[in-house]
Chains A and B, each alone.
Chain A
Amino acid sequence: AQKVTQAQTEISVVEKEDVTLDCVYETRDTTYYLFWYKQPPSGELVFLIRRNSFDEQNEISGRYSWNFQKSTSSFNFTITASQVVDSAVYFCALSGRETSGSRLTFGEGTQLTVNP
């Protein structure tokens, strides 16, 4: 069975602070994919990144960066110099290659609030 744990239920920071959202996963698949989604107050999920299990290279996209550590089964997400517009619920998700239908297993999400 697959499982994704986002231990941080809520995080509150002041604008311009850096913030890291944690994600720990469990899977028996040897090939799998990890995702991060953002859900702003409007409700629609916005795709941020997909990472496959063979690519442990960290990725940076503007103020966003992701740290994938297979040894600790973690896929953490860092926002540098946070802004009020970053306030949202962030979800980490997992899909196994052998999982039929390519369905995603989501974590419970982390509510990030960035205060001015």
Chain B
Amino acid sequence: SQTIHQWPATLVQPVGSPLSLECTVEGTSNPNLYWYRQAAGRGLQLLFYSVGIGQISSEVPQNLSASRPQDRQFILSSKKLLLSDSGFYLCAWTPGLAGKQFFGPGTRLTVL
């Protein structure tokens, strides 16, 4: 069966520090991968998605970036965090076109 992992589960970082969140999927190959952010407990905003290794599409211009170094690995990064980057970050995957998206457990990021 397929599973999706995210780590860390929680993170507290100072403003201006770097960020690296990791997402991995097991039990499938060539998934579509997504990063979402949820601020203030509501409304999911799509940040990035990837349909293959090295292929990243950005939805919202910001100080975040994403990379997909391996088929089932998706990384969200920042060189310098802002206060506004605080939120709940969710990774998701789907096996193909219009498939239901499966979500990971999320990372709760607090920037102080």
Contact = CB atoms under 8 A, between A and B. Distances in A.
Interface of A: 32-33, 35, 37, 42-47, 50, 52, 89, 91, 95, 97, 100-109, 111
The bracket for how many chain B residues form the interface is 20 to 34
B44 interface: yes
Contact of A91 (B44, B100, B105): B44
Contacts, number: 63
B57 A43 contact: no
A46 B90 CA distance: 12
Contacts of A42: 105
Given A43-B105, A103-B59, A89 B41 contact: yes
Given A95-B98, A97-B97, A101-B32, A44 B106 contact: yes
A37 B100 CA distance: 10
A107 B42 CA distance: 9
Determine which residue in A35, A45, A100 has the highest number of CB atoms from chain B within 10 A of its CB, and name it.
A45
A101 B51 contact: yes
Contacts of B49: 101, 103
Nearest to A107: B43
B74 interface: no
